[in-house]
Amino acid sequence: MPWPLRWFARVLTVLLVLALVLAGVLVYTVRKSFPQLDGSLRLPGLTGSVEIYRDKSGIPHIYADSAADLFMAQGFVHAQDRFYEMDFRRHTTAGRLSELFGKSTLDNDKALRTMGWRRVAEQELPELAQKTQDFLNAYAKGVNAWLSANPNASDRSLEYSILKLQNGDYHPEKWTAVDSLAWLKAMAWDLRSNMEDEIDRALALTKLPRERVEQLYPGYPYDRHSPIVTEGAIDHGRFDQLAVPRQRATAALTQAAKTLDDVPETLGTEDRDGIGSNSWVVSGEHTASGKPLLANDPHLSPQLPSVWYQAGLHCRKITEECPYDVTGFTFSGVPGVVIGHTDKISWGFTNLGPDVADLFLEQVEGDTYLYRGEQVKLETRQEQIKVAGGAPVTITVKSTRHGPLINEVMDGAQPSGEANAVALQWTALTPGRTADAIFALNEAGDWEQFKAAAALFDVPSQNLIYADTSGKIGYQAPGRIPVRENGDGTWPVPGWTGEYDWKTAPIPYDQLPSVEDPAEGFIVTANNAVIDPRRYQPLLTKDWAYGYRSERIRDRIKEAIGKGKIDAATMSGIQQDTSNGFAETLVPALMRVDLAGPGGEARQLLKTWDRTQGLDSAAAAYFNAVWRQVLVLTFNDDLPEGARPSGGDRWYDVIRRLLDLPDDPFWDDVTTKNRKETRDDILRQAMASAYQEVSERLGPDVKSWRWGDLHQLELVNGSLGTSGIAPVEALFNRGPFAVPGNKDAVNATGWNVQRDYAITAVPSMRMIVDLSDLDKSQWINLTGASGHAFHENYWDQTEAWTRGGLLPMYAKPESIKKAAAHTLRLTP
């Protein structure tokens, strides 16, 4: 062999050996942190043995003889699979991300320290029931037992090995009960009500007169979309399902209400990238088994690993001291089951969305603020933020009687007019008992016990649906919902007058809407209005989702009842429904517009479109591109960037009304000179621009377009997945995945029209509980049980999730043991 070739061969051999060594090191590092799933382990602090059975998806079912052992084992199992996620979350909620990642996260920390989530959690802990405190401590003991057994970065997870390269001095602290409570504040923040709507209204007001801003927040369409509760009223100080609201000139009132509904009002909806949920329950009179079926799919931002962790928690013998036999979805970092079923009842959540946060404009002078004609001293505290690789940063947090001043740390919350500061008043900044509610739900066995548990659920306020093995179904609205002296919470208000203050007591729990065994035989919640304000006086909110999902679910249930009895397959089919609720309104309007050129060929797709949005639908691809262009062309020229539409069903009703007003000023493009555009001009341009956009991305053959080629999901790891370092991101992120559905379809895969069609919100899990036989229940998670990249359970449920598949949700010991792929025994 010639010398150059021999030299090249030797170099190549050396490079291959180095590559194999590096690959071997990487594989060793990755696998070293995988948890032990079989055999036996000692867990100091247990009082008895614990068995953990995992199926092939890695979903654990834990069996113990005492409640303390049960929750200690849950802490250990959560840490096995998800400790880095838990550690990242507690740094987030405490405003301590900069300790991990340096100055890049300093703004996040300043905002969190200003609101003081962890401070509230610290105040909350001693106010909880002693049993709850004991279980939180038992859970922490299990987490710390795992942490002690895995002292090295490579023992814990791949993330810690990579973090070690950047921040070699970091060592995780022991877990505490407060760490668990603080995460509940994060969930309350994600599901807060209409604060963004308040900000958006104020931002829009900087460019538009108030009456035009109010056009963008039409009233809830009670005439077209039913609220959750259609019967009952407050009678003698409590909500009574059989009560009839007081009649006050009923005919005139009804006509006035209809008239007002037709007039643009100061009303809106939660429109934060599609965050919402679906849940419904059908009584046994309409099911094939004769017992209820309950479905739930909360819509949240996609995360990898998923925000949910599936688990079963079982006392081997049910006693007063150990009453738990519960299976469902948990949060890693928090003991107990958040959504699921016991051996007798099941429950589901959707965001009720009451107005529990207000922005108060304040007049601050030096270290005081104006209140009712007097200068009152601000409350202040110093917060020191440690920064990896840099010097600590100290901020001064200032608060008025209404809450912390946030205008310096939150985008959009800027003072205006006479004000020079903005305070946030939010119910979650007051200690509550939500942690007590979780354990109470987990041991509830009937409707009364369920309602008693719901009474403890302060924040976030959720629509709770219910079913039990005796055949009862129900609904309960819980939560700490403020009562205002004046105003309706839709606009930022002056704090210095005192006239918009919250009253001391919130709406009493007994006055919140509740339904038991309704005459219809089913209950549907999908962030729609809870109850018509003409029959219910305390203000819950004026900003609801507009009922397109809930009405579609109701229609599908009624259709199924008309054809026969409903089964689990029917429920799953409804969860997968992709019908576009606005197409029936917008498509005819598009068809009436004169359109020449290649866009006309694309428009032909809509003539035979069935309004569904499956992966292969060319019509769905074109329609959603047109919808995106309609919103951008109509409103971006009128609104500041922060208040522009992201999409969703509030904008359905805004456009619905504008379609009847062809010369409304919103249609006019104010950036064009000497020309006034009308409705048809904008619709014509939207169709042409949509054709151009989609043809550039998918090619000129309109029949080959696929919605799934535009509408895709990237699963991004919550911390290192956004590092900006491509090789690191490739280790932790997965995708893209083509996904059917759309924002405000029942299969609610949201996207933001201001950006593109990438999915920003998803059904984060799906669950169908069969109360005739809990073993026939089904569930699916967005990703998987494991938080360890490259573990077989890291994202193994995703493919089934994308196509609407479900896994068995076993509950009986014999079924769980039969399905077990792994068995781990923990001993004292």
CATH assignment at residue 621: 1.10.1400.10
Q: Is residue 496 part of a domain?
A: no
Residue 415, pLDDT score: 76
Is the same domain home to 291 and 322? yes
Is the same domain home to 26 and 133? yes
- Which of 710, 725, 751 marks a domain boundary? 710
Q: Which residues contact 638 (CB under 8 A, 6 or more apart)?
A: 207, 208, 212, 666, 670
Is the same domain home to 52 and 90? yes
Q: Is residue 413 part of a domain?
A: no
Is the same domain home to 312 and 453? yes
Residue 269, pLDDT score: 30
Location of structure tokens 């089964």: 567
Answer for the pair 136, 144: CB distance below 8 angstroms, yes or no: no
Q: Is residue 208 part of a domain?
A: yes
pLDDT tens digits for range 324-366: 999 999 999 999 999 999 999 999 999 999 999 999 999 999 9
Answer for the pair 177, 334: CB distance below 8 angstroms, yes or no: no
Is the same domain home to 265 and 338? yes
Q: Could you tell me the two tokens for 8?
A: 């090249």
Is the same domain home to 150 and 246? no
Strands 379-385 and 514-516: unpaired
Mean pLDDT of 692-719: 96
Chain centroid to CA 624: 23
Residue 416, pLDDT score: 66
Residue 24, pLDDT score: 53
Stronger pLDDT, 408 or 552, i.e. the higher one? 552
Length of the chain: 828
pLDDT > 80? residue 27: no
pLDDT > 60? residue 680: yes
DSSP 8-state secondary structure symbol assigned to residue 145: H
pLDDT > 50? residue 255: no
Q: Is residue 21 part of a domain?
A: yes
Is the same domain home to 24 and 81? yes
Domain assignment of residue 235, given as a range: 202-345+434-480+508-575
Q: Is residue 769 part of a domain?
A: no
Mean pLDDT of 382-393: 96
Answer for the pair 732, 721: CB distance below 8 angstroms, yes or no: yes
- Which of 687, 710, 733 marks a domain boundary? 710
Q: Report angle CA 248, 251, 254 to the nearest 5 degrees.
A: 85
CA within 13 Å, CB half, 19: 6
Of the chain, the percentage scoring pLDDT greater than 70 comes to: 92
pLDDT tens digits for range 744-779: 999 999 999 999 999 999 999 999 999 999 999 999
Instruction: Supply the pTM of this predicted model.
Output: 0.93
Q: Is residue 2 part of a domain?
A: no
Residue 193, pLDDT score: 66
Is the same domain home to 49 and 90? yes
Is the same domain home to 149 and 246? no
DSSP 8-state secondary structure symbol assigned to residue 503: P
Is the same domain home to 608 and 561? no
Number of domains in the chain: 3
Q: Is residue 773 part of a domain?
A: no
pLDDT > 70? residue 10: no
Per the prediction, the chain carries an average pLDDT of: 91
- Which of 667, 695, 710 marks a domain boundary? 710
For residue 413, name the pLDDT band (cuts at 50, 70, 90): low
For residue 167, name the pLDDT band (cuts at 50, 70, 90): confident
Phi-psi region of 565 (alpha: psi -120 to 50; beta: other; left: phi over 0): beta
Residue 254, pLDDT score: 24
Lowest mean pLDDT among 210-214, 267-271, 802-806: 267-271
For residue 249, name the pLDDT band (cuts at 50, 70, 90): very low
Mean pLDDT of 641-669: 96
Is the same domain home to 56 and 96? yes
CATH of the domain at 40: 1.10.439.10
pLDDT > 60? residue 246: no
Residue 177, pLDDT score: 98
pLDDT tens digits for range 546-568: 999 999 999 999 999 999 999 99
pLDDT tens digits for range 396-405: 999 999 999 9
Q: Is residue 738 part of a domain?
A: no
Q: Could you tell me the two tokens for 723?
A: 């590092």
Residue 22, pLDDT score: 52
pLDDT > 80? residue 474: yes
Is the same domain home to 93 and 22? yes
651 by DSSP, 3-state: which? helix
